[in-house]
Structure 1
Amino acid sequence: MNNRADVYAAGGPLFKAWYDLSMQVEKSGLEKSLLELVKVRASQINGCANCLNMHTFDARKAGETEQRIHLLGAWEEAPCYSARERAALGWTDHLTEVATKRAPDQIYAKLAAEFSAEEQVQLTLAINVINGWNRLAVGFHLYNPTLGWAA
């Protein structure tokens, strides 16, 4: 599969602003491992192979185990995630599929029990960013060959 466009070059200042936002979200103060779980989960839902490749790699670097990475597809049934992680993953699932799942009060209540208002916004921005990257990667057939992905 070949790239459809070089989004980095063609995107100009608007893409640079998008990239800068992505980097700012990374510095929000939320736990790196939590952010990686959210990125992997959204990428699973969106079927983004590039982002799954990248963020499972990054999750391992952040200390995630193979078991926890593999169980993300069934996180609701897997006992290895904390209440905070479960709240984040539930919020991720619902916002990633917002057209059909919406953001119901019971999902928000779990989020509010584990995250401050500031962290809720930071997490929501992180979910928005990974969903945006998923759409760029899927739409333009992006991939990162430095992680061992063959073209």
Structure 2
Amino acid sequence: MTTQSRLPNPLKTVPELAPVAEALFKAVGNGSVPQTTVSLIHLRLGQLVGNTYLTVMHTGALRRAGESEERITAVSSWHDAPCFTDAERVALALIEAVLTPNPHGERVSADLYAQVSVHYDEKALTTLTFAIGQGLFFLPLATIGRPLPGVAPGEQWRD
């Protein structure tokens, strides 16, 4: 069994990344989108790309935030799960649209954009967009570096 990721600690190797990551966390955490919603879309991102590290990390974050097992488990089948708000549903639809090719047109349709706009004002919609971007920013690190699920970041990077 692997006991370290493939890469060394990225913040030690490329310390210039620290302020970028901090800025993303600050922007996404501006309060216009509930942290639960951000964690739900990040969990769905991990599921859609098939990344265990991201799935475990965001499942843990939702548990620590007090989310029910029902809601956490239902993220993978949110379409027919009654436990999500309409705002959470459109956020989950948005992450799926961004990550799933649409053979019939653009990924984020005008209809989906209109639905999202009903639940999120301009600041929140921009924040939600950056929350998706934040997840995508760290995706190569999670897939190439292969950090270990459930292991604290400071303990898993290759020396």
Normalised-by-shorter TM-score class: 0.7 to 0.9
The equivalent of 1:135 in structure 2 is: 140
1:66 aligns with 2:69: yes
Checking the alignment, whether the CA contact within 8 Å between 1:43 and 1:49 is kept in structure 2 is: yes
Which secondary structure does the structure 1 equivalent of 2:80 belong to? coil
1:145 aligns with 2:146: no
- C-alpha displacement of 1:19: 1.5
Match of 1:22 among 16, 24, 33: 24
Q: 1:33-52, CA deviations, whole angstroms, 9 ceiling, x for partnerless residues?
A: 11111110111111121111
Number of aligned residue pairs: 146
Checking the alignment, whether the CA contact within 8 Å between 1:32 and 1:62 is kept in structure 2 is: no
Stretches of structure 1 lacking an aligned partner (at least 5 in a row): none
Q: Post-superposition, which runs of at least 4 consecutive aligned residues in structure 1 deviate over 3 A? A: none
Match of 1:111 among 93, 116, 119: 116
| Correspondence 1:82-101 to 2 at 5 A | 82-97=85-100, 100-101=101-102
Larger helix percent = 1
The equivalent of 1:57 in structure 2 is: 60
TM-score, normalised via structure 2 length = 0.83
Alpha-carbon distance between aligned partners in 2 of 1:53 and 1:125, rounded to the nearest angstrom: 21
**Which letter maps to 1:5?**
L
Q: Percent sequence identity over matched residues?
A: 23
Deviates further, 54-63 or 20-29:
20-29
Stretches of structure 2 lacking an aligned partner (at least 5 in a row): none
Which secondary structure does the structure 2 equivalent of 1:88 belong to? helix
- C-alpha displacement of 1:21: 2.5
Alpha-carbon distance between aligned partners in 2 of 1:72 and 1:28, rounded to the nearest angstrom: 24
- C-alpha displacement of 1:28: 1.7
RMSD (CA atoms): 2.0
**Which letter maps to 2:38?**
L
**Which letter maps to 1:75?**
W
Alpha-carbon distance between aligned partners in 1 of 2:80 and 2:113, rounded to the nearest angstrom: 19
Checking the alignment, whether the CA contact within 8 Å between 2:28 and 2:128 is kept in structure 1 is: no
- C-alpha displacement of 1:31: 0.9
Checking the alignment, whether the CA contact within 8 Å between 2:28 and 2:127 is kept in structure 1 is: no
Checking the alignment, whether the CA contact within 8 Å between 2:28 and 2:130 is kept in structure 1 is: no
1:34 aligns with 2:29: no
TM-score, normalised via structure 1 length = 0.87
**Which letter maps to 1:20?**
E
